[in-house]
Structure 1
Amino acid sequence: MILSIVAIVVGLILLVWSADRFVDGAVGVAQFFGMSTFLIGMLIVGFGTSAPEMVVSVLSALNNTPQLALGNAYGSNIANIALILGVTALIIPVVVKKEAMTRDIPILIAVTALTILLLKDGNVSLIDGAILLIVFAGITAFNIFTELHAKHKRKKDEPIEAPAEKVSIVKSLALLLVGLVLLIVSSRMLVWGAINVAQALGVSDLLIGLTIVAVGTSLPELASSIAAARKGENDLAVGNVIGSNLFNTLVVVGIAAVITPIKAMDADVLSRDLPIMSALTLLLALICFPFFKSKRAKAARKTNEQFGFGRIGGALFLSLYVAYLVLLGIQTV
């Protein structure tokens, strides 16, 4: 019991510290290469914090249980939007730039629609998996090309200014790597300690699975998003969620299907998880429009055409996530 409590305390401290270092490293990389923090949030933060899901996907496919990859990916996507953005918005209003509203969120919606189309027959074949991976490669290339084009345009249009203080790429990459590794390790320590304490207190395995384990798998994304928002890097927080969801939907499921095609899919995935994930994705787009935004987002949009939502939107997302957990509990009993 004492060891478990120590694991919780140390894990929580490490989680907070590593999230700050991870965000600092990501911002440093963005500044060094002249990229937007949103793109870095998608490519590095979003994909990096999805590493645990990726490992689970590969191992489940190799163990001939690829169904786990679907539940892991879609459950993580639901938590990313409802839990992570919900909690983040309760701390600080989430601000989404115009580019994300007109390009990246529509891409996420289109990918979700493609997933529904591929899964409607109840199978994820090798060809389906290959399609998902190809689409992911295309989206990644498109985002990088678009960002490079925007960077070139900014250099051409903006007046020449005094050079900013040079960012150390070595230090930034080191912070990024160390932060990511410690994020994953500390989240596992925290979950392990919390499970042991809960079991010692007589909490049921079902409740532990629906709360500690469910939230624990999203701790890296949650910690990095909160740290990014707290530092004013809202682009990083939103990019983290969008990038992670794209990675989960396309790569986590795609690789699992390529290794071991998924046949006779669990009916709950089609009737519950996929519809809920799709509805939350659409809600994210709707809630970011001007008539849903917070006062802070309204003020920001006057100059930068930004969108977003505040505590009311955050409370809505968080309540929907709690409702999802309750639904899981009811259906599992």
Structure 2
Amino acid sequence: MIEAILFLLLGLVILLAAGESLVRGAASLAKLANVPPLVIGLTVVAFGTSAPELVVTVNAVLGGAAGIAMGNIVGSNIANVMLVLGLPAILTPISMAVPRLRRHALALILATAVFCGMVYWNREIALTEALVFAGGMVLYFALMAYEARTGEADIALEAEGLVEARPHLGKTLALTIIGLVGLPIGATLLVNHGEHLAKMLGVRDEIIGLTVVAFGTSLPELATVLAAAIRREASVSAGTIIGSNIFNMLFVGAAAGFAGTSRFSDEAVTYDLPMMILATALVAVLIFTRRKFGRMLGIFSLTVYVAYIVFLGTGSV
């Protein structure tokens, strides 16, 4: 068991490092090719930051570990709200009165409704679901493009922060190659040993995806929001979390469906999806009422998240 845990953690470290390397390398490569910053932000940055979740999910589906794939999507969305926003909120309240955040919250509600509706309909993600999710992703991509063109979003500025003023070709290629090679290696270690660990513990595959994998792939967002909270600028991170959750359901969900058929277990439908809906409802209500994610709410959400993880870890489900 110790060996499986060590290799699982090694896969997680490789996955995160490779994901960061790929985003930076690809963004620099696009800049060297004179691709406008706006396009870099809308494509490389937006899709690249979902690379760990994407590769893990596709790898898990292709490897017959659909439970890990589905647990990763749902678990990441739960962690992004309850943990990634909840923990920093304990340090400093996070304002949800961010300009234009309501339209993205509405997009999150619609994406969650579509995702959960399709799953509750036939308890699987296959080609039909993939096409629906892909269509939703195109619509959300159009919203981001509109905001960027009208100067309502800072996506281009975000992209600029990932690249040097004058990127070096050799370094850029090295970062890109490391990312491309490292992602599948990390994902393979994570999925194979995660599935092995689940069998050894006698729990369903989704639990590994909901806990270890989801927590690990949410670490970059957690580090970013925590750093922003220390600077008392965490409010700007709310939009990042919303966008990340939408990408997880629509972009990663579509990729899973195109890769194969993944079925949700009865336990996942009974416990995990409702938890994701609860997390979505929590952040959506705060955004539409323009209330802060305050310290008490942060303590509450973190407590609920920990209790949920312990509940899963007991093997009760």
* CA shift digits 1:265-296 (9 cap, x unpaired): 31122111111101110111223455843xxx
* CA shift digits 1:148-197 (9 cap, x unpaired): 22459xxxxxxxxxxxxxx88841696xx97x97xx99xx8xxx9xxxxx
Distance 2:235 2:290 in 1: 20
Distance 1:237 1:173 in 2: 27
Q: Does 2:133 match 1:132? A: yes
Distance 1:146 1:324 in 2: 37
Distance 1:254 1:287 in 2: 28
Q: Does 2:314 match 1:314? A: no
Distance 1:172 1:237 in 2: 24
Residues 53 and 73, structure 1, Cα contact 8 Å, conserved in 2:
yes
Distance 1:312 1:129 in 2: 39
Look up the match of 2:94: 94
Residues 228 and 237, structure 1, Cα contact 8 Å, conserved in 2:
yes
Residues 1:104 and 1:150: Cα distance change in structure 2 (over 3 Å)? same
Residues 1:47 and 1:125: Cα distance change in structure 2 (over 3 Å)? same
Q: Indicate the RMSD between aligned Cα atoms, in angstroms.
A: 4.4
Distance 2:222 2:166 in 1: 21
Distance 1:311 1:256 in 2: 36
Look up the match of 1:296: none
Q: Does 2:153 match 1:171? A: no
Query: What amino acid does structure 2 have at the position aligned with 1:94?
Result: I
Residues 46 and 241, structure 1, Cα contact 8 Å, conserved in 2:
no
Residues 45 and 240, structure 1, Cα contact 8 Å, conserved in 2:
no
Distance 1:173 1:332 in 2: 55
Residue 234 of structure 1: how far off its partner (Å): 3.2
Q: Does 2:62 match 1:62? A: yes
Distance 2:59 2:221 in 1: 21
Look up the match of 1:258: 258
Look up the match of 1:81: 81
Distance 1:252 1:46 in 2: 12
Q: Does 2:140 match 1:117? A: no
Distance 1:173 1:62 in 2: 39
Residue 109 of structure 1: how far off its partner (Å): 0.8
Mapping 1:270-281, distance limit 5 Å: 270-281=269-280
When structure 1 is superposed on structure 2, of 82-91 and 214-223 the one drifting more is 214-223
Mapping 1:289-304, distance limit 5 Å: 292-293=291-292
Residues 1:172 and 1:318: Cα distance change in structure 2 (over 3 Å)? farther
Distance 1:277 1:54 in 2: 19
TM-score by structure 2 length? Answer: 0.67
Residues 105 and 242, structure 1, Cα contact 8 Å, conserved in 2:
yes
Distance 1:148 1:235 in 2: 23
Distance 1:172 1:273 in 2: 44
Secondary structure of the structure 1 residue equivalent to 2:164: helix
Residues 1:44 and 1:85: Cα distance change in structure 2 (over 3 Å)? farther
Identity of aligned residues (%): 33
Residue 66 of structure 1: how far off its partner (Å): 2.9
Distance 1:172 1:238 in 2: 28
Distance 1:211 1:75 in 2: 7
TM-score by structure 1 length? Answer: 0.64
Distance 2:202 2:271 in 1: 22
Look up the match of 2:268: 269
Look up the match of 1:285: 284
- Larger Rg computed on CA atoms: 1
When structure 1 is superposed on structure 2, of 56-65 and 266-275 the one drifting more is 56-65
Look up the match of 1:238: 238
Distance 2:37 2:254 in 1: 31
Distance 2:166 2:81 in 1: 27
Query: What amino acid does structure 2 have at the position aligned with 1:325?
Result: I
Distance 1:168 1:123 in 2: 39
Residues 226 and 237, structure 1, Cα contact 8 Å, conserved in 2:
no
Residues 1:151 and 1:132: Cα distance change in structure 2 (over 3 Å)? closer
Residue 91 of structure 1: how far off its partner (Å): 2.3
Distance 1:46 1:91 in 2: 28
Residues 1:170 and 1:120: Cα distance change in structure 2 (over 3 Å)? closer
Look up the match of 2:194: none
